[in-house]
Structure 1
Amino acid sequence: MKFYMMHLMPYADLDLDYDQKHNSAWVTLPNSYYDPKKGAKLYNRYLDELEYADQLGFDGICVNEHHQNAYGLMPQPGVMAGALARRTKKVKIAILGRALPLLNNPVTVAEEFAMVDNITEGRFIAGFVRGIGAEYHAWSSNPADSHDRFHEAHDLILRAWTETGPFAFEGKHYQFEYVNLWPRPYQSPRPPIWIPSQGSSETIEWASHPDRRYTYLQTFTPVAMLAKYMQMYKAMAAGHGYEATEDQLGWSVPLYVAETDEIARREAQPHIENFLNKFLRMPKEMLLPPGYLSLNSMLGVMKAKSSIGTKQTIDDVMAKGMFICGSPETVRQKLEQYQSEIGFGHLLTLLQFGTLPAELTRKNMEIYANEVMPYLRDKTANAIPAAAE
């Protein structure tokens, strides 16, 4: 199993009483709540934390894209990846990912990702997403066009990376007389591609197709639903005549580890509950706008994300396996159990969440890296088949 530190870079200095006047930390929360001086310090603190993950021996570090919210301050994740590219030495850097349907020019992402891939000399992982429903409100983009725009942008980016230019591209949404990428990617024929998702069956089917075999990442989901979606990927792969490997499956989950179960719960509780009830707060119609998903996928995602928008406690999410918290022994046992039962090869831990302060984030990272990762790495060292890509 490979270990990654995922960072959302939230606005941790958020006035938590905002919800007395506003119903969401997304899109409609006035940006008067953002103090640039505090935000500047947070950005540099968060970059320091991701750089520290390199020193602690993580396999990779991950950033992502969200717009107009306090939950994640990375509307342009390539800025963060570029900053990290020169300051890290060993870890892979993953952008998970760019929201392709929102783009007017997908070639800019092909260029941006190729630049990071060159600067890191191949330590880059490309992530493509459709973007959650809130992004379509932020960009005034039609969610009903999401699938078509995603697939067309993806095809254009892959051709830009792998075909000798200049060539013309004529699609429904994007038209170019000249596609001629400078620079070309460092990795040949292209960087590995990962697909994070909330659990859309169409996305799982598309990612698992033998033409792609992309690594599929399930984000912030109860373990029961995680197992369902991982099995769906394996079943679809089998239907195409091949066996999916653990390298094609990943899980993103917030985690906190401390000296004992009691200390871990006490230290994490206010911060994970702020994450759940303040930073994730949004109405369902913002999360899942009409036309964004098929009916079948909508029903599944609504079940997996049913808790968003409702008041949750640390005990609620721990019971569902949506938050891993405890002593090193407890955390090791839970992760080993879930990995053994479900069979994912990439574990993306959110070691800073909500209002978790710098000193507790560093403590969390150190105990996890020193007392959890080595154990699980040894346990799974011979279990991961060769990468699919």
Structure 2
Amino acid sequence: MRFYFFHLMPYADLDPDYDKTYPSSWVTLPNSFYDPVKGADLYHRYLDELEYAAALGFEGVGVNEHHQNAYGLMPCPNVFAGMLARRIPETAKIAVLGRALPVLSNPLSVAEEFAVLDNITRGRLVTGFVRGIGAEYHSLAVNPTESHERFHEAHDLIMAAWTRTGPFPWEGKHYHFPHVNLWPRVYQQPHPPVWIPSQGSRETVEFAADPARRYTYLQTAAPAATLFRTMQLYRDEAERRGYQASPDQLGWSIKLYVAEDDATARREAKPHIEAFANKFLRMPQEYLLPPGYTSLASMKGLIQSRKTITGGYRTMEQMLEQGTFICGGPQTVIDQLAEYQRRGGFNLVMAGLHFGTLPHDLTMKNIEIFAKQVMPALKDAVPGAVPRVAAE
């Protein structure tokens, strides 16, 4: 099992009573709730946490992109990746998971940013491409009905820029460049590894599993039942297209908390994971899934799974039962991760060891215990025969 430490960088000082007036921490929450002095302190604190995880032996650290919300203060993850590039050990990778291609106006800028990071890290960059969740389309005034086609064209343009000798013209439906001639070229050849995070859209799973790509698929923000289905869907799609998917092509992004024992872990984590679920992740369905954002079939599946994520007040106990949170002493966390791996067949874990309002001391404690007591016990764990589940 391979481990990355993932940070959302939320505005942890968010007034918890904001929801008495506003429906969500996304899109319409006034930025008067943000105190720049506190925010600056949080940025430095969060970078310290990412650097600490890298120093303790995680394979890599992960950052991502969200816009205009208190849930994640990283509208420009390339900036944070650049700050980390010279400060973390040269054994640690940096995963940018990922750039939200359809809501950005210039894919060549993304190609350039990633190429620079790939050179600075001498090939330790893991790139990620996402469509961005529905709220981003509200925030940045992008038509969600164009999401898929903008994503695919932007992806194809970036791949061409990385792998083709320039200059050459690009004339697509959404992007037009008379001269594509990337400087610098990417360090890793033919291009850096690509991971595709998703909430579980069928179209996204099939895109990642295509034999021309074989991108790593990373399941995010979903209960365990959805995780098992999407892992199976990827394997089925790979088999249908003529190859067998590797467990290293499958990953899970999951919030975790580990302490000295189960009782201590649950007591320390409970208020902070519930703040994450009920304050930071709070979002009306129309923000998450605007009309036209995804196909009808995927829409139905996502709505069903997201009822357990964004619908109603969620307790820590419910999240533990659903498999959207893992919490306990070291052996409990080891056993649960091993069981999820056995049933899901994945080999990558994107460990969200900070969430919501979890303070710095508990975050550092969580990182340390996880790195020193959980990771060593699972470093040789690989999926065996995975029990089959219905992919639909």
Report the TM-score range of the alignment, normalised by the length of the smaller protein.
over 0.9
Deviations 1:144-179 (A, max 9, x none): 000000000000000000111000000000000000
Deviations 1:286-312 (A, max 9, x none): 000000010100011111211304110
Aligned to 2:390: none
Q: TM-score, normalised by structure 2?
A: 0.96
Aligned to 2:322: 320
How far, CA to CA, are the matches of 1:382 and 1:19 in structure 2?
Answer: 45
Gaps (5+ residues) in structure 1?
A: 384-389
Decide whether the 8 Å contact of 1:128 with 1:196 is kept in 2. Answer: yes
Gaps (5+ residues) in structure 2?
A: 386-392
Change (3 A) 1:179 1:136: same
Aligned to 1:30: 30
Aligned to 1:255: 256
Decide whether the 8 Å contact of 1:280 with 1:309 is kept in 2. Answer: no
- Bigger mean CA deviation after superposition, 128-137 or 303-312: 303-312
What SS is found at the alignment partner of 2:307?
coil
Moved segments of 4+, more than 2 Å:
378-383
AA aligned to 2:103 is L
How far, CA to CA, are the matches of 2:162 and 2:380 in structure 1?
Answer: 36
Decide whether the 8 Å contact of 1:25 with 1:281 is kept in 2. Answer: yes
AA aligned to 1:361 is T
How far, CA to CA, are the matches of 1:331 and 1:382 in structure 2?
Answer: 19
How far, CA to CA, are the matches of 1:271 and 1:279 in structure 2?
Answer: 10
- Bigger mean CA deviation after superposition, 85-94 or 120-129: 85-94
Aligned to 1:387: none
Aligned to 2:227: 226
After TM superposition, give the deviation of residue 78 of structure 1 in Å. Answer: 0.5
AA aligned to 2:54 is D
Aligned to 1:78: 78
Deviations 1:303-328 (A, max 9, x none): 12113041100001000111000000
What SS is found at the alignment partner of 1:110?
helix
After TM superposition, give the deviation of residue 382 of structure 1 in Å. Answer: 10
After TM superposition, give the deviation of residue 54 of structure 1 in Å. Answer: 1.1
Aligned to 2:44: 44
How far, CA to CA, are the matches of 1:4 and 1:328 in structure 2?
Answer: 17
Two-structure CA RMSD over aligned residues (Å):
1.1
Aligned to 2:289: 288
Aligned to 1:368: 370
Deviations 1:203-258 (A, max 9, x none): 11111010110000000211111000100000000000100000110000000000
* Paired residues, number: 383
Q: Given the alignment of the two structures, is residue 163 of structure 1 paired with residue 178 of structure 2, yes or no?
A: no
Among residues 323, 337, 352, which one is paired with 1:350 in the alignment? 352
What SS is found at the alignment partner of 1:366?
helix
How far, CA to CA, are the matches of 1:10 and 1:356 in structure 2?
Answer: 10
How far, CA to CA, are the matches of 1:23 and 1:208 in structure 2?
Answer: 36
Deviations 1:6-54 (A, max 9, x none): 1000000111111111110001000000000000000010001001111
Aligned to 1:386: none
Deviations 1:54-106 (A, max 9, x none): 11000010000000000000001011000001111221101100000012110
Decide whether the 8 Å contact of 1:277 with 1:309 is kept in 2. Answer: no
Q: 1:1-389 to 2 correspondence within 5 Å?
A: 1-89=1-89, 90-307=91-308, 308-380=310-382
Decide whether the 8 Å contact of 2:196 with 2:215 is kept in 1. Answer: yes
What SS is found at the alignment partner of 2:234?
helix
AA aligned to 1:329 is Q
How far, CA to CA, are the matches of 2:99 and 2:88 in structure 1?
Answer: 21
Decide whether the 8 Å contact of 1:7 with 1:352 is kept in 2. Answer: yes
How far, CA to CA, are the matches of 2:51 and 2:384 in structure 1?
Answer: 28
Q: TM-score, normalised by structure 1?
A: 0.97
How far, CA to CA, are the matches of 2:380 and 2:64 in structure 1?
Answer: 29
What SS is found at the alignment partner of 1:348?
strand
How far, CA to CA, are the matches of 2:285 and 2:382 in structure 1?
Answer: 38
How far, CA to CA, are the matches of 1:33 and 1:142 in structure 2?
Answer: 28
How far, CA to CA, are the matches of 1:71 and 1:58 in structure 2?
Answer: 24
Decide whether the 8 Å contact of 2:346 with 2:383 is kept in 1. Answer: no
